[in-house]
Chain A
Amino acid sequence: MSIVTRGFGGRRDDPGDDVPPGQFVTQDFPVLSTGPTPSVDEAHWQLAVHTETGAAHRWSWDELMSLPAEDVTTDIHCVTHWSKLGTTWRGVSLDTLFADVETSADFVMAHSYGGYTTNVPLQDLLDGQSWVAYEFEGEPLEPVHGGPARLLVPHLYFWKSAKWLRGLVMEDDDQPGFWESNGYHAYGDPWLEQRYS
């Protein structure tokens, strides 16, 4: 602590250790998107995993729905300083989607309908750490929050949880995605406050 802001007391409703440094708790679900919300019809929705050999694994909406789903309760942390605690989601684990994917590449670029991209190491997506989520708080995920389906990687800042997910492309090198090319951290661990590059 280097300075004191005269007259500032703070509201002090933070629950303490549950929240990473520099975050505050909100009951809202703020929306941060770089452009218009794309309209993605489930009938034409498709998710693909592309590996470095050119192999592709694809799922239609019905195929995604036929995969085993998991219910997830987790805190989420946005780089713009809000955290939302105890959010509930339903979706398919990336472990399930990657069960038959053969790759020796270490990095993944997530691609969204609308053109957004974000990079995540593969080891951060596996072992029960990420999902393709299609329900939020028991309801179909709204388009404004990334519906019909978004990536959910709650242990990283939420810009890594790409909305309107359409593809995961394996990469040998850790290339920057959209925000990572616009001043934000390549990895984005909220507990280490890895906000900016």
Chain B
Amino acid sequence: MTAGATGGWHVATVVGARPLTRSARELTLSVPGLEASSPGQHLDVRLTAPDGYQATRAYSLAATGQAERADLVVDRVPDGEVSPYLVDVARPGDLMEVRGPLGGYFVWRPGDPGPVLLVAGGSGVVPLLAMLRARRASSSRAPFRLVCSVRGPADAIGREEIDEPTPGVEVHWVFSRESPPGWPTRPRRVADDDLAAPGFTAADGPDVFVCGPTGFVEAAAALLTGLGHAPDRVRTERFGGA
């Protein structure tokens, strides 16, 4: 990490924008000077209005490993100040600033051999998508299981990419409000059965990463410790209040 007390900002130029759902968009930034990040890390993003007013928020990186480039997936927060701009207004050529990569704990490294259990609620899938992308881009054979909980199919960020068949990677969707047509189960919340799959049980000792809204993470982490996962093997990132 190179960020000093108040320095470390890099000028970033939007070079790509791709809608993913009705509320989420992937933004690709070109950032000269930005070092390569690890899957799970995040950036500070700073916007500057014409009169100098600034607003800063932290966003998880959706793709990592490539220096001087940042891929963010941003979900619009109703009444938000920064996310509506990033989802609805920003377009290629626009400038902002970023600082990072940040965070050294909620990180999966492609050299780690053990099984990995990823549990995502809503847009909490973003740093876990970065881990999945890194797994697919590397020679890692670490068994991966990604459990994605979303309200309905229209809210599923990156579903086609996530579902791409990959040996050693299993993906499990849970729809909490509305299931897709023909889906075998009714809408429901994540439960023990979703988390306790063969090869990823507490006895298998997976590294567990949980990300999502606070209520989701609290519930999922409690299920996981109830299933016997050691609390220090369950890494969490939460957003929103409680």
A32 contacts the other chain (CB 8 A): yes
A1 contacts the other chain (CB 8 A): yes
> Are B241 and A30 interface neighbours, CB within 8 A?
yes
Q: Among A22, A31, A35, A185, which residue has its beta carbon within 8 angstroms of that of B241?
A: A31
Q: Among A5, A22, A182, which residue has its beta carbon within 8 angstroms of that of B96?
A: A5
Q: Which residues of B contact A8 (CB under 8 A)?
A: 47-49, 55, 85, 89
Which residue of chain B lies nearest to A13 when distances are taken between CB atoms in the complex?
B81
Which residue of chain A lies nearest to B222 when distances are taken between CB atoms in the complex?
A36
**Cα–Cα, bound, A24→B55 (Å):** 7
Binds B, one of A42-50, A68-76, A97-105, A187-195: A187-195
Binds A, one of B64-72, B171-179, B180-188, B229-237: B229-237
Q: Which residues of A contact B224 (CB under 8 A)?
A: 36
> Are B232 and A22 interface neighbours, CB within 8 A?
no
A144 contacts the other chain (CB 8 A): yes
> Are A30 and B58 interface neighbours, CB within 8 A?
no
> Are B56 and A28 interface neighbours, CB within 8 A?
no
Q: Are A115 and B49 CB-contacts (below 8 A) given A26-B241, A34-B105, A197-B1?
A: no
Q: Which residues of B contact A142 (CB under 8 A)?
A: 242
- Interface SS of A by simple majority: loop
B139 contacts the other chain (CB 8 A): no
> Are A144 and B234 interface neighbours, CB within 8 A?
no
- Among A8, A28, A115, A142, chain B packs the most CB atoms within 10 A around the CB of A8
Smallest distance from the beta carbon of B225 to chain A beta carbons, Å? 5
**Cα–Cα, bound, A37→B218 (Å):** 7
B57 contacts the other chain (CB 8 A): yes
> Are A2 and B11 interface neighbours, CB within 8 A?
yes
Q: Among B3, B89, B103, B232, which residue has its beta carbon within 8 angstroms of that of A35?
A: B232
Q: Which residues of A contact B231 (CB under 8 A)?
A: 35-36, 38, 114-115
**Cα–Cα, bound, A100→B236 (Å):** 38
> Are A183 and B103 interface neighbours, CB within 8 A?
yes
Smallest distance from the beta carbon of A157 to chain B beta carbons, Å? 12
> Are A37 and B221 interface neighbours, CB within 8 A?
yes
Q: Which residues of B contact A1 (CB under 8 A)?
A: 48, 52, 54
Q: Among A9, A182, A195, which residue has its beta carbon within 8 angstroms of that of B3?
A: A195
Q: Which residues of B contact A21 (CB under 8 A)?
A: 6
Which residue of chain A lies nearest to B58 when distances are taken between CB atoms in the complex?
A80
Q: Which residues of A contact B238 (CB under 8 A)?
A: 30-33
Pairs across A and B, CB under 8 Å, 5 listed:
A12-B53, A33-B236, A36-B222, A38-B231, A182-B104
Binding site for B on A (CB under 8 A): 1-12, 21-22, 24, 26, 28-38, 80-81, 114-115, 142, 144-145, 178-179, 181-183, 185, 192-197
3 tightest CB-CB pairs across the interface, nearest first?
A28-B241, A182-B104, A36-B221
